[in-house]
Amino acid sequence: MTAERTDGRRNREIVLRTAMRVFTEDGLDVPLSRIAQRAGVGAGTVYRHFPSKEVLIEAVLAEHIHGLVRGADRWAARAAPGDALLGFLVEAIEQSPGRVRVCDWLTGDRSWPRAGLAAATEQFGQALDRLLLAAKRAGAVRADVHADDLTALLAGGAALRSAHRSPARGARLVRLLLDGLLTKPAEFRDTAPGRRHETGHCLECGARLHIHTTGRPPTYCGPTCRQRARRRRR
C-alpha cells in the first residue's frame, strides 16, 4: 500500500471519529468545515471522502454498526454462549447514547436505508443471529426468543438507560430487563480469558468497574464519585 493511500485511510478514520464526537456534542447542524477544523485536516480532505453531510452521517453510523459486529465476534470467542449474548447486548446498549441523534436523523430520512448502511445492518443481524443460536443450543436462552426481540430490547434498553436520572440505576434496570432472556437468570460475569472478574458499574456515575479476584470489590470509579455519594448520604 502506498504512503498516499495510507494517509488517505488514516484521514478518513480521523474524520469519522471526530464527526461522531461533534455530532454527539453539538448536534447534526454542525457544518463540515467545523468538523474538518476539529479533525485537524483541510475541508477538501473531508469533501474528498464525504461529498455531503448526509454521506458522512451515514458513514458514521455504518462504522458504529461495524464496530458492534466486531464486538459480537469478540464476545462469541471469549465467553460462554449465554454470557456472550448478554454481554454483547449490555455493551451495545452502553454505546448507544451518543448515537441517538444520528439514528433519529436516519429514521426520519425516507431514502433510508442506503446501500452502505443496509449492508452494515445486515452484517449486524447475522452476528446477532449467531450469538442467539449459540445461546439457544447451550440452553442458556429461552427457546421462544427471536432476533427481532433482541433488536427491540436493544432499542428499549437504550431508551431506558438514558431516561433514568441515575446512570447506575439505569444500567441496573437494563440488566434486569435482559435477565428475562435467560433460562436461569443470574449475575452476569465477564469470562474473557485473563480477566477473571465480575464487571459492575460505579454506583454514582455508572462508569464500568473492573472487579478483580483479590481485594475488596470497588463500588465507585474514583475519589470524586465516592465523595459525592458520601455527601448525598449526609
65 Cβ contact partners less than 8 Å away, ≥ 6 residues apart:
117, 120, 121, 123, 124
Q: Does 56-186 match 1-51 at the fold level?
A: no
Q: Indicate the angle between helix axes 32-39 and 53-78, nearest 10 degrees.
A: 50
Fold topology of 1-51: Arc Repressor Mutant, subunit A (1.10.10)
- Quick check: 166 pLDDT over 90? no
Residue 66 has pLDDT above 50, yes or no: yes
Percent of the chain residues topping a pLDDT of 70: 72
Rounded to whole angstroms, how far apart are CA atoms 87 and 181? 12
Query: Average pLDDT over the chain, rounded to whole?
Result: 78
Could you tell me the three cell numbers for 98?
451518543
More confident residue, 91 or 209: 91
Query: Does 127 have pLDDT greater than 90?
Result: yes
User: Pick the residue with more confidence: 188 or 84?
Assistant: 84
Q: Decide yes or no: CATH 1.10.357.10 for domain 56-186.
A: yes
Nearest residue to 190 (alpha-carbon basis) of 172, 208, 173, 207? 208
Mean of pLDDT values over 99-112: 55
Contact call for residues 203 and 229 (beta carbons, < 8 A): yes
User: Would you kindly state where each structural domain of the chain is located, as residue ranges?
Assistant: 1-51, 56-186, 196-234
Least Cα distance to 177 among 100, 73, 89 occurs for 89
How many angstroms separate the most distant Cα atoms in the chain?
63
pTM of this prediction? 0.68
Q: What percentage of the chain exceeds 90 in pLDDT?
A: 22
What are the residues whose beta carbons fall under 8 Å from the beta carbon of 29, sequence distance 6 or more?
A: none
Task: Taking residues 161-172, report their average pLDDT.
Answer: 80
Q: Is a pLDDT exceeding 70 seen at residue 104? A: no
Report the relative pairing of strands 199-201 and 208-210 from DSSP bridges. antiparallel
